[in-house]
Amino acid sequence: MTITTSPYVKSQNDDDKLHEECGVFGIFDGNNAAAHTALGLHALQHRGQEAAGIVSFDGKQFYSHKALGLISDNFSSASIIDKLHGHMAIGHTRYSTTGETLLRNVQPLFAEFSFGGLAIAHNGNLTNAMHLRRELVKRGSLFQATSDTEVIIHLMALSNAKSIEDRLVDALNQIEGAYSLVCLIENAIIGVRDPLGVRPLVLGKLDNSYILASETCALDIIGAQRVRDIEPGEIIVINKDGLRSFKPFPQKKERFCVFEYIYFARPDSSINNRNVYDVRKRIGAELAKESPVDADLIVPVPDSGVPASIGYATESGIPFELGIIRNHYVGRTFIEPTDHVRHLGVKLKHNANQAILKGKRVVLVDDSIVRGTTSKKIVTMVRDAGAAEVHMRIASPPTTHSCYYGVDTPERSQLMAAKNNVEEMAKIIGVDSLAFVSIDGLYRAMHEKKRDNKSPQFCDACFTGDYPIELTDHNRSLGKGYHNDTFAGFAEI
Ligand code: AMP
C-alpha cells in the first residue's frame, strides 16, 4: 500500500467523540475510478466537511490519500488523482462532532489481513463500539485511531470464519448501531446497510461500472443511473462476475432516519423513491395547514428552510420572499465545531434584506431548532431590519432527544426543546408566535397516514425519544469518548 497524505495536519487533542456524519462512495470497474470517487464525494460534501479520503486498488496495490478539509481543496488536482491508480475505489467524507479531527481517524480505514487488504468507509454510528473496544483491547487488539469504525476491522481480524464475507458478517453480528458501509477488497467492493436501514445507501450504474453512494446526487454528478436503494440488512458484493446480494441478519422492519429528509440529505437526492425536495415542500404545506398565520411574507432561513417555505407559501397563498440572504462562502454553521466559531458563523452567514422586510409581518421558516442559536440571531436580525411582526414556523417537531445513530446533535441538556415548551421557546427566541409541524403532519408529508406508534415507519428518536437500536455505550455511560478512564489521549502535532 502506498500512503500519500496531505502535509496539513492540525495540532489537536485526541478526544474525538464517537459520533460522525458522513458520506460514502464506491465504484467497481470504472475507468477513472478515483476521479469519479472524488466527484461523488464532492456531491456528498454536505455530509461532512472536515476531512476526506480515497483508497483505490489497481490489481496489485492499494493507494490512499487522506486530507483534512474540502474535496475541492484536496482531491481536485491531477497530481493526486493520477496517483490513485486502479479500476476500483472507495471514498469517504466526514466530520467529527467535537471538531477535533485527526488524520489517522480519516476514512477509509485500511488494514492488512491474512486474506489481503481491506479498506472500509462508514456512515452512521455504532452504539456499542466503546464496549466492544474495551473487550478487544483486553484480548490484545491494538487500536490505531479513535473512530468506532475501527472496531469492525478488529472484529473481522479475530473472526474464525474462512471467507472475507463471513468474517464481515461475523463482525456485524456483534455490533449495534447505524451503519452504511462501503468496503474495498482486492477483487470486489462491498456495500452494507444495517438491519434497520437507518442511513441511506444507493446502488447506481455507469456503463459497466457499479457504484455505491450515500445519496443519488453523487450518481448524478458522474452521469450514473440509480438502480435501487440497498435494502436494510442487505450485503451486496460487486466483483467481475457482477453483483451478488444476501441478507444474513434476522429480518426487521425498516426505520430510516426521518431527519435525513428534513435536513441532512441534499434536496436533489431521492431516497426510497421519495424526492427530498418534494418531502420538504410537503412538510411546509402541512405546517401551513396546522399553524396558519395572518402575515405579509414567507421568508426562508436559507438554505435549509427554502423548500419548506415554498410549501408553506404555496399552501397559504402568502408571497414567498428572500428576506434573508446567505453568504455562500461560509460553511454550514453546525459543521463548524466549536461554540465560538458557531456563534461567529451565524453572523458571517446571513444578512437581512431590509428593503423586503421593513414594516412587514414576516413568517420565518426553518427546518429545525436545535440549540436555538440560529433562530435567536435570525429573529433579532429581522426585527432590526424593521419587520412589524416576526412569526416562526419549523418544518420538524421539537428536537427533544440526542441522536446516537450518526447525526450530530448536542447532548440533551443543550437542546432547547428538551427544557422548554413551545411558549417558553417563543419567548427565548423573541418571536410573536412559534409552531412546529406535528409528528403526524410530518408522517403525512412522507405519504404515511400517521405515525404507527406500535411499529413506527421511521427512526424519529430525536423527536420522540423512541430509540429503535440499543444504546449500550450510552446506557453504560461509555458514550462520551474513548479517553475517560482506560485510554490516555494522543495529540498529533
Ligand atoms: P441551532 O442554532 O442550534 O438551533 O441549529 C439549528 C440550525 O442548524 C437549523 O437552521 C438547521 O438547519 C441546522 N441543523 C440542525 N441539525 C443539524 C445537524 N445535525 N447538523 C448540522 N446542522 C443542523
370 lines ligand 1 (CB under 6 A): yes
Cα 2–chain centre separation: 29
Question: Looking at ligand 1, which atom is closest to the CA of residue 377?
Answer: 2
Confidence at residue 338, expressed as pLDDT on a 0 to 100 scale: 62
DSSP string, 283-346: HHHHHHHHS----SEEEE-TTTTHHHHHHHHHHH-PPB---EEE-TTS--GGGS-SHHHHHHHH
Give the model confidence (pLDDT) of 427-482 as tens digits.
999 999 999 999 999 999 999 999 999 999 999 999 999 999 999 999 987 554 44
How many A from CA of 23 to the centre of ligand 1?
18
Rg (the chain; Cα; Å):
23
Q: Which residue bears the cell 404507527?
A: 452
How many A from CA of 369 to the centre of ligand 1?
6
Q: What is the percent of the chain with per-residue pLDDT over 70, rounded to a whole number?
A: 88
Q: Do 140 and 159 form a contact (C-beta atoms < 8 A)?
A: no
Q: Do 51 and 101 form a contact (C-beta atoms < 8 A)?
A: yes
- Helical axes 373-384 vs 422-429, angle rounded to 10°: 50
265 lines ligand 1 (CB under 6 A): no
Q: How confident is the model at residue 97 (pLDDT cuts 50, 70, 90)?
A: very low
Backbone angles phi, psi at 14, to 5 degrees: -95, 60
Enumerate the β-bridge partners of residue 299. Answer: 364
Cα 358–chain centre separation: 37
Backbone angles phi, psi at 448, to 5 degrees: -110, 150
312 lines ligand 1 (CB under 6 A): no
105 lines ligand 1 (CB under 6 A): no
49 lines ligand 1 (CB under 6 A): no
How many A from CA of 335 to the centre of ligand 1?
9
Q: How far is Cα 290 from Cα 287, in angstroms, rounded to an integer?
A: 5
Tell me whether strands 2-5 and 62-68 are parallel, antiparallel or unpaired.
parallel
Tell me whether strands 225-229 and 361-366 are parallel, antiparallel or unpaired.
unpaired
Q: Which of 368, 371, 411, 462 to mutate to test the pocket of ligand 1 (most atoms within 8 A of CB)?
A: 368
Establish how many alpha carbons lie within 13 A of residue 483's alpha carbon, considering only the half-sphere containing its beta carbon. Answer: 12
Backbone angles phi, psi at 428, to 5 degrees: -60, -45
What does the pLDDT average to over 368-396? 96
Q: Which residue has the higher pLDDT, 98 or 194?
A: 194
- Helical axes 339-349 vs 373-384, angle rounded to 10°: 30
How many A from CA of 439 to the centre of ligand 1?
19
Reading across the β-sheet that carries 51-57, which strands appear in turn? Answer: 2-5, 62-68, 51-57, 88-96, 20-28, 209-213, 202-206, 225-229
What does the pLDDT average to over 108-131? 95
Q: Which residue bears the cell 474525538?
A: 16
409 lines ligand 1 (CB under 6 A): yes
pTM for the structure as a whole:
0.92
Q: How confident is the model at residue 8 (pLDDT cuts 50, 70, 90)?
A: very low
Q: Do 390 and 364 form a contact (C-beta atoms < 8 A)?
A: yes
Position 222, amino acid: I
Q: How far is Cα 423 from Cα 416, in angstroms, rounded to an integer?
A: 12
Number of other CB atoms surrounding residue 151 within 10 Å: 24
Q: What is the percent of the chain with per-residue pLDDT over 90, rounded to a whole number?
A: 81
Shortest-distance Cα residue to atom 3 of ligand 1: 371
How many A from CA of 371 to the centre of ligand 1?
8
How many A from CA of 86 to the centre of ligand 1?
39
Give the model confidence (pLDDT) of 292-303 as tens digits.
999 999 999 999
Q: Which residue bears the cell 423586503?
A: 356
Q: Do 26 and 37 form a contact (C-beta atoms < 8 A)?
A: yes
Q: How far is Cα 236 from Cα 168, in angstroms, rounded to an integer?
A: 12
What does the pLDDT average to over 314-319? 98
Q: How confident is the model at residue 409 (pLDDT cuts 50, 70, 90)?
A: confident
366 lines ligand 1 (CB under 6 A): yes
Statement: residue 485 has pLDDT above 50: no
Cα 202–chain centre separation: 14
373 lines ligand 1 (CB under 6 A): yes
Number of other CB atoms surrounding residue 183 within 10 Å: 29
408 lines ligand 1 (CB under 6 A): yes
Q: Which of 20, 97, 263 to mutate to test the pocket of ligand 1 (most atoms within 8 A of CB)?
A: 263
Shortest-distance Cα residue to atom 11 of ligand 1: 368
Q: Which of 374, 413, 436 to mutate to test the pocket of ligand 1 (most atoms within 8 A of CB)?
A: 374
Give the model confidence (pLDDT) of 190-231 as tens digits.
999 999 999 999 999 999 999 999 999 999 999 999 999 999
Which H or E run includes 428?
helix 422-429
How many A from CA of 332 to the centre of ligand 1?
9
Give the model confidence (pLDDT) of 127-159 as tens digits.
999 999 999 999 999 998 888 999 999 999 999
- Assign 335 to helix, strand or coil: helix
Beta strands in 383-439 (DSSP E): 389-394, 433-436
Cα 399–chain centre separation: 17
Q: Do 437 and 444 form a contact (C-beta atoms < 8 A)?
A: no
Least confidently predicted of 314-318, 328-332, 357-361, 388-392: 328-332
How many A from CA of 57 to the centre of ligand 1?
37
HEC string for 356-373: HHCCCEEEEEECCCCCCH
Which H or E run includes 135?
helix 129-138
What does the pLDDT average to over 414-437? 98
Helices (H) and strands (E) in the chain, counts: 18, 24
To the query of whether residue 462 is one of the catalytic residues in this protein, the response is no
**What angle (nearest 5°) sits at the alpha carbon of residue 60, between those of residues 168 and 22?**
45
Tell me whether strands 324-326 and 350-352 are parallel, antiparallel or unpaired.
antiparallel
Look up residue 442 and give its three cell numbers: 410530518
Cis peptide before 337 (omega within 30 of 0): no
Q: Which residue bears the cell 491508480?
A: 85
List of domains in the chain: 19-255 (3.60.20.10), 277-464 (3.40.50.2020)
Look up residue 459 and give its three cell numbers: 427512526
Question: Looking at ligand 1, which atom is closest to the CA of residue 301?
Answer: 10
371 lines ligand 1 (CB under 6 A): yes
C-alpha dist (Å) from residue 294 to 17, 193, 298, 425, 437:
45, 45, 11, 21, 17
342 lines ligand 1 (CB under 6 A): no
Q: Which of 22, 183, 257, 459 is catalytic?
A: 22
Statement: residue 13 has pLDDT above 70: no
Number of other CB atoms surrounding residue 77 within 10 Å: 10
Shortest-distance Cα residue to atom 17 of ligand 1: 334
Confidence at residue 17, expressed as pLDDT on a 0 to 100 scale: 35
334 lines ligand 1 (CB under 6 A): yes
